[in-house]
Amino acid sequence: MLGKEERAEDEKKEATIAELTSWILEYVEQNTAGSPTDETIKWTHLRHCDIASHLQKGYQEEVGTDCIKRILYENGYRKRKPAKQLATGESPNRSEQFRIIGFLLALFRLMSENPIISIDTKKKEILGELTRNEEVLTKGDEPVSVFDHDYPHLGTGKAIPHGIYDLKLNEGYLSLGNSHETAEFVVDNLEWWWETYGKYEYRKAARILILCDSGGANGHRHHLFKKCLQELARKINKKLVIAHYPPYCSKYNPIERRLFAQVHRTIKATILTDLEQVKTLMEKTATKTGLSVEVRINDKNYPLKQPSLAEEVDEKRILRHPTLPKLSYTILP
């Protein structure tokens, strides 16, 4: 039988470990990248000594790397050799921008009335009698007949899934386009999310934190994207805080592993024939942690090669970060 002092000491130790575990996992989660096609594949660039330094600076706790290793191991983190590691480039401001994003995430988590969303466009899917290099569950002796090659011209159309992931509510919102991925397409989907869901979930919101990549239709060099955001901010009367992940770091965008990996799993072993079928399938996406997905079809035509001039952006309505003004800024209503 343990004495009262020993039991009290054990309870104190358990509480300390639980608190350390919470701090460590929260920091690792903010610096975690993941595969958009397999939710089980995640990785972080943090070293054990980086985590120890974070605990010392942020919480004034001296924690040894052996303790950190044990906590990470107990929560499923292992050191594994990557199968491939092909870098197409690097960003000189990577570390600083990650610090800015980490600060914004921590700040907005303290403000329950303001949403945090992550946006991106998933891989386009060609519709039609195509294999998509997947196996299909069938009944009978004969396989399903499809074309012998998945050439785009053999398809009957395409699905362009643009996603919005709400980090606070663990909810996904997908717009299926069949035209082109443009800045107008992206911002129209943001407006749909806000008018249909966001303004009811966050009735007192004054700001929206939007995490996005540096390239594509929502790229940080894209003047038209900023112009469309300014129109949206004025229409909904909210400040839009934009944080672009550094170039070549798109896998760190939370939507990749939190939403797209789950959606990919849902439609994986299927022949995709039309947008309605894709919508029905994607709406079935769910996880044990409570993820739910709302899907709509956006059949508006979005032409390419629209004018994108710097003069059309009202710089007076943009508050830019003092050190990384291109990657972090706020759009004013």
- Looking at per-residue confidence, does 39 or 221 come out higher? 221
Token pair 């303004």 is at which residue? 199
**Domains of the chain listed by start with CATH number:** 4-74 (no CATH), 94-331 (3.30.420.10)
Least confident span in 24-33, 98-107, 175-184: 24-33
What is the mean pLDDT of the segment spanning 279-290?
94
**CB-side neighbour CA atoms (13 Å) of 325:** 5
What is the mean pLDDT of the segment spanning 148-171?
88
| For residue 146, pLDDT beyond 80 | no
What is the mean pLDDT of the segment spanning 94-102?
95
Q: With bands split at pLDDT 50, 70 and 90, how would you rate the model's confidence at 179?
A: very high
- Looking at per-residue confidence, does 182 or 85 come out higher? 182
- Looking at per-residue confidence, does 151 or 64 come out higher? 64
Strands 171-177 and 125-127: unpaired
What is the per-residue pLDDT for 270? 85
| pTM attached to this predicted model | 0.76
What is the mean pLDDT of the segment spanning 306-324?
93
Strands 42-44 and 32-34: antiparallel
What is the per-residue pLDDT for 139? 59
What is the per-residue pLDDT for 91? 80
| For residue 115, pLDDT beyond 90 | yes
Nearest to 246 by CA among 37, 102, 106, 85: 102
> What integer best gives the mean pLDDT of the chain?
88
What is the per-residue pLDDT for 130? 75
What is the mean pLDDT of the segment spanning 99-105?
97
Pseudo-torsion of CA 256, 262, 264, 270, nearest 10°?
Answer: -170
| For residue 322, pLDDT beyond 90 | yes
- C-beta neighbour count of 89 within 10 angstroms: 6
